[in-house]
Structure 1
Amino acid sequence: MIEHEGIIEKICDNCVTVRILQQSACSTCHAKGICMAGDSKEKLIEVADFSGGFHKNERVIIEGKESTGYKAVLWAFVIPLILIILTLILTLSLWDFSETEAAISAMAALIPYYLILYLFRKKMAKSFQFSIKKWEGRTVDKWEGE
């Protein structure tokens, strides 16, 4: 399971909005102050909750399946990389584009891909479900087992 600690921002009907601090893997490193590679951002996550057992500003744990993380990586990084490589191969070998034209074509091929993802964002959001549970006083924000 992937777990993140967060604070409830608002509750509307059966939807709880939780603010989490998304950190890069190296943000907890002792050298992060001079490295500049680590970063963190606040994110708002909407979670369906029918229990009614939560209140605003309460500390909670957001859980997601590990497979959800893999699916997100596939859609956000792996498929676009494959699309770029295929476009480069097709434009350089089959269509005899120059290297500059092939590079521009490969980048342009991402426009319809991300547009399609944007158009289907609500449908895709249903497959990226999270659950919410009470905070137990422990710190999380990393993959279990690491």
Structure 2
Amino acid sequence: MGEKTAEALPRRALFGGNGTAGVMPWTDPQRIFERCTGCGACTRACPEGIVTSGRGGHPYIEFTSACTFCGACAEACPEDVFDTARTPPMAAVARIGESCFEPLGISCRACEDACPEMALRTRPQLGGTARVEVSDAACTGCGACVSVCPVNAVEIVPNA
């Protein structure tokens, strides 16, 4: 059998099968796959309680609240998984899915209100509907918008 690489391993298998995009601050999936031992130190260190472990103990963020980029996960890690000199800390951005209320004519704007960077803007459209736009340049990938969405229309994805 051939050796598994991060590219050959499905994302769900690497990060626990919950459908998250597998983003973590100051690292990337390849680095996690190659260097993480699954000790759980980063999970225990997160003051927000949003770093969790998937299969093999690999960490990922479950956006029940925003990542504050405090660095506790990186500081607690005994391996060379995190690079705190990396700027920006999270190479990820918010994406708005099809279940968003705004294009359906239902005013919500919870994600826009929750965004500390004002990276989400609701743009009126003809016919009384609106569209939520994300400024990739302003979005930090913190996830403040994820947990407030009543229909789970927001996700944080790697910024390619």
Q: State which structure, 1 or 2, has the greater radius of gyration over its C-alpha atoms.
A: 1
Shorter-chain TM range is: under 0.3
Larger proportion of helix: 1
Greater length-normalized contact order (CA 8 Å, ≥ 6 residues apart): 1
TM-score, normalisation: structure 2: 0.24
